[in-house]
Amino acid sequence: MKLLTPIQIGNLEIRNRVVMPSMTNNYTKDGYVTQQMLDYYEARARGGVGMICVEDGIVDFPIGNNAKNPVSIDNDKYIPMLTKLSTVIKKHGARAAIQISHAGRRAGRVSHENGCMEVTRGMIPVAPSIVGHPFPGHVVPQELRIEEIEGIVEKFGQATRRALEAGFEVVGLHCAHMYLCGEFLSPWANKRTDKYGGSLENRLRFVLEIIERMKKELVNVPLICRMNGQEPEGGNTLLEIREIARRLQLAGVKAISVSTGFGAVLNERDFISAEAPIGTPEGCIVHLAENIKTGITIPVMVGNMIRNPEFAENVLLENRTDMITLGRPLITDPDWVNKVSAGKVRDIRPCVSCCQGCVGYIAKDLPITCIMNPVAGKEGDLSMQPVPAEREKKVLVIGGGPGGLETAITAASRGHKVTIWEKEQQLGGTVLLAELPPRKNELKKIRDYFSHTVSQLKIEVELGKEANKELIKAFKPDAVVLAIGGQSITPLIKGIAQNNVFLANDVLRNNMTLGEKVVIIGGGQVGVELAELLGEKGVSVTVVEALPSVAGDMSSAVKVLLMFKLEDYNVRLLTNTLAKEIKANGVLIERNDAEEFIEADSIVIAVGSAAQTSLEAELKEFVQEVYAVGDCLKPGSILGAVHDGYKVGLTI
């Protein structure tokens, strides 16, 4: 495979064409690399990747921070831990790179919880112009003075020196995602009238000065640059972007990493975000890399939504790019490259671009994890590593959803004899319903992976088998795991027993026809995704939500696309609204201290689910070990179910 062949960046050979790009993980402490971060990156280096580009090293901490807990490289005190980081990466044959950055105006994010600018520790951010970042909760920045610009150029130079002293073999300059360098490059953010603004030549000046300063430190060490392949209206055109890349090569850059987007909640239609959430086409920005590649001769790398090895190989064979940046898939499965090399592609844990544990956790200032990888960020935690069972146990898992399947796989891999009972005719549980709304069919990859792994481990599966106390007792298990899912909540609303009232899960499961007008009570993820599904079919939909906003349980990267679709289908979203009474022809609601009647053919209840724990107590009478995982224990997400299942699988 071309994907696995070496390539040169400058004078440095990379063992294959897979690059782990910079991704914030929130594992640092006060700017320092931590043991958690060392373990995380070492696992990916051990997994066979060609080069790892460590997340943004901030050249001016904290005013240049891109997140609440970034890596800092603005002081020599950080060098020892950075040295440990480059060492663990190189130890396994991967090349160690670090991207250095200043977040500019994007640093000025106000916390939803306390109204403080926690990212910058209260400092007002800086930018080329007094133009705020177009995200909710961002403050207007200060415009940089000439002497301040010169000072930042020097900070990039000093950061480069520290990177080399720490043993990094490649240094990256972050000019993408509308951080400070990208802000200077783009007329969308740069409104200056001096030598740093106006013409493309002037807008390039800041970045070229930084490169010139970095090159004084970079003796025989390649410099790579990450840049946006597209910008929104008012930004650089595709021709200007191609010219920027050409000028970067002339300035001494040895490779270009192509990205896009300015964050997860840019409300601009048809603009591809850096997060490329679920439903985004595979290879969604390869054409942007091609545009850049036509004007330069140095290697180009691209990713954003490349996860399938066959697709990656074809992109390389067609010469549309030279290298593949593999981000979130390496969070999900650190051994992605090794598995491809061994011909075990079906063994790869799939990234489904759900943006829950990665982008979603970053937005909450939490350390990242992954819906499909409970060990992400816990690679050094011995309690999270599977060890052979002391003795084989007969384990019965009741329920073939994500929590039950993860439990079964983990327990079986440790040497237990595992049987799954599933009342439906196929495995999947909640995933079967979650994959039905528009753009969510990628979730089927979760089912495919689990089914394949269950087969590989020779776990016995009995479909169409509903468990009860007598059957379980006759089976004589040593351990029972309840993974039977939650029970849909029916709220106390007058008239809810009407025959025109249905539960959301039943509507999805049975593909029900509900008439021309539908009211959905509950505006969480299930409710709004069902609203889109019905709207797509031409149904007039109203969503009634008691909270101030809908889809509060969704990652903003995924939510933004959904909200566009709800707008397209004229879905009416009523927040801060209570359903008072259901009648045969509609719903009486209360909002803004006034009542309103909404006509409807059908009313759908989507207010969540409750735990089902009654069987657990009964089983403890005759089974020594009884566990509950997923929604039957505590209603939540697929992420919670998988993580619960993994921990129980380690415990049995």
Q: What are the residue numbers of the active site?
A: 179
Q: Are 256 and 292 in contact (CB under 8 A)?
A: yes
Four-CA torsion 305, 308, 313, 314, nearest 10 degrees: -70
d(CA 428, CA 485): 11
Q: Are 484 and 572 in contact (CB under 8 A)?
A: no
> Tokens 């545009």 identify what position?
291
Q: Are 282 and 325 in contact (CB under 8 A)?
A: no
Between β-strands 7-9 and 12-14, what pairing exists: parallel, antiparallel or unpaired?
antiparallel
Between β-strands 394-398 and 460-463, what pairing exists: parallel, antiparallel or unpaired?
unpaired
d(CA 426, CA 432): 9
SS3 label, residue 537: coil
d(CA 329, CA 178): 24
d(CA 186, CA 241): 10
Helix, strand, coil proportions of the chain in percent (round to 5)? 35, 20, 45
b or e along 208-239 (b: 16 or more beta carbons within 10 Å of the residue's beta carbon)?
Answer: bbbbebbbebbeebbbbbbbbbbbbeebbeee
Q: Are 396 and 465 in contact (CB under 8 A)?
A: no
Q: Are 117 and 126 in contact (CB under 8 A)?
A: no
d(CA 43, CA 38): 9
> Tokens 């006759």 identify what position?
474
Q: Containing H/E element for 528?
A: helix 525-536
Q: Are 224 and 170 in contact (CB under 8 A)?
A: yes
In angstroms, how far is CA 206 from the centroid of its own chain? 31
Count CB atoms within 10 A of the CB of residue 367.
19
SS3 label, residue 89: helix
Structure tokens at 618: 């009964």
Count CB atoms within 10 A of the CB of residue 570.
9
Q: Is 607 left (phi over 0), alpha (psi -120 to 50) or beta?
A: alpha
Q: What is the DSSP annotation of 177-242?
A: TTSHHHHHH-TTT----STTSSSHHHHHHHHHHHHHHHHTT-SS--EEEEEES---TTS--HHHHH
SS3 label, residue 551: coil
- Residues 6 or more apart whose Cβ sits within 8 Å of residue 388: 414, 415
Q: State which amino acid sits at residue 50.
A: G
d(CA 133, CA 303): 25
d(CA 415, CA 189): 58
